[in-house]
Amino acid sequence: MKKYISLLLAIVFIFALAACNKSPSTPTNTASPSPSPSASQSPDASSAPTESETPQGEDDLAYILGKGELVIGYTEYAPMNYYDEDGELVGFDTEYAVALCEKLGVKPKFVLINWDTKEYELASKTIDCIWNGLTVTEERRENMAFTKSYIVNEQVAVIRAEDKDKYTTLESLKSAKIVAETGSAGEMAVEADLAGANFTAVASQSSALLEVKARTADVAIIDSTMAHSMTGPGTDYADLMVIENLHLTSEEYAIGLRLGSTAVDKFNEITNALLADGTLQAIAEKYGLADRLIKD
């Protein structure tokens, strides 16, 4: 009981500390080149964002190697991590992780997480990395270290099929009610490409789709992969469609490691090797992502 109270007090304390830490770091962020709303750009994949951060406490790579196991946090998200008809966990990220772990000499362990609390999972070491189509954003850099990006995460606009002729261009979307997952790449795309639009942030990508279907919104900006897998035939969203040839700001997927992790360089090194020997290309082709693989 006492322990519990002290735990609670401690976590309040941690939150307070986190709030304090945040303020000094903010100026550095604003000082660094931040994306201008019009420019469609993404962080340079090859630059190592963690160079400026010092490892906190222990050597994360040594910690992972010491355990002989890499605990990978994921959510069910086709085609990155999902269960096939035999109940096997498959997907691009799944196979990529298995391949990387083999080279690293550790066993992969996949753990289902709640996407909303992934930062806590990392920090409390219940997982070692987030490997689940994780979009690289500046906000997330405050809580985790990214490896080099490996997939372009294209954002698309989903509308009701009946509105096919109404919404065709970015300009036409500015009068629509737009939804996207809060803090997602979709929201970034709205900010970058549809500034001033009638926008509402919702809890998840699937609820964004639900909003459109339920007519509480007109347009959902979500991941291209998700949009195509959720709106196909046999789904409850068969009456929704993706606007073709509409180009929104795209982001990139990377693996999220603990802030200041020493494993970043090692992961990048192995990824480069997997690119060089064609392993990643083969996996990408298997899951229909070949054109989106970042090859350099």
Q: Which is nearer to other proteins, 196 or 233 (CB)?
A: 233
What's the CA gap between 128 and 114, in Å, rounded? 15
CA dihedral sign, ordered 125, 205, 228, 247: negative
Q: Which is nearer to other proteins, 116 or 162 (CB)?
A: 116
Q: Which is nearer to other proteins, 16 or 111 (CB)?
A: 111
Say whether residue 121 binds other proteins (CB under 8 A). yes
**Which residues, 86 to 115, sit near other proteins by CB under 8 A?**
111-114
CB of 85 to other proteins, least distance (A): 9
- In the shown chain, the binding pattern of residues 184 to 213 toward other proteins, with x for contact by CB under 8 A and - for none, equals ---------------------xx--xx--x
Q: Which is nearer to other proteins, 4 or 28 (CB)?
A: 4
Say whether residue 282 binds other proteins (CB under 8 A). no
Q: Is residue 90 classed as helix, strand or coil in its secondary structure?
A: strand
What's the CA gap between 272 and 46, in Å, rounded? 11
Instruction: Give yes or no for a contact between 104 and 270, defined as CB atoms under 8 angstroms apart.
Output: yes
What's the CA gap between 289 and 239, in Å, rounded? 25
**Which residue in the set 116, 138, 277, 285 belongs to the binding site for other proteins (CB under 8 A)?**
116
Say whether residue 131 binds other proteins (CB under 8 A). no
Question: Which ranges of 128-263 does DSSP label H, i.e. alpha helix?
Answer: 170-173, 185-193, 205-213, 224-230
Q: Which two tokens stand for residue 241?
A: 């469609």
What's the CA gap between 91 and 166, in Å, rounded? 35
Q: Which is nearer to other proteins, 18 or 276 (CB)?
A: 18
Would you say how long the chain is, in residues? 296
Helix or strand holding residue 272 (H, E): helix 264-276
Instruction: Give yes or no for a contact between 247 and 179, defined as CB atoms under 8 angstroms apart.
Output: no
Say whether residue 182 binds other proteins (CB under 8 A). no
**Which residues, 237 to 276, sit near other proteins by CB under 8 A?**
237
Q: Which is nearer to other proteins, 99 or 217 (CB)?
A: 217
CB of 10 to other proteins, least distance (A): 5
CA distance from start to end of the chain: 54
Helix or strand holding residue 40 (H, E): none
Task: Count CA atoms closer than 13 A to 18's CA, side-chain side.
Answer: 11
**Which residue in the set 88, 236, 277, 285 belongs to the binding site for other proteins (CB under 8 A)?**
236
Total residues contacting other proteins by CB under 8 A comes to 38
Other C-beta atoms lying within 10 Å of the C-beta of residue 161: 11
Q: Which is nearer to other proteins, 57 or 196 (CB)?
A: 57
Say whether residue 64 binds other proteins (CB under 8 A). no
**Which residue in the set 27, 68, 196, 234 belongs to the binding site for other proteins (CB under 8 A)?**
234
Binding site for other proteins (CB under 8 A): 1, 4-5, 7-8, 10-11, 14, 75-78, 111-114, 116-117, 120-121, 123-126, 205-206, 209-210, 213, 226, 229-232, 234-237
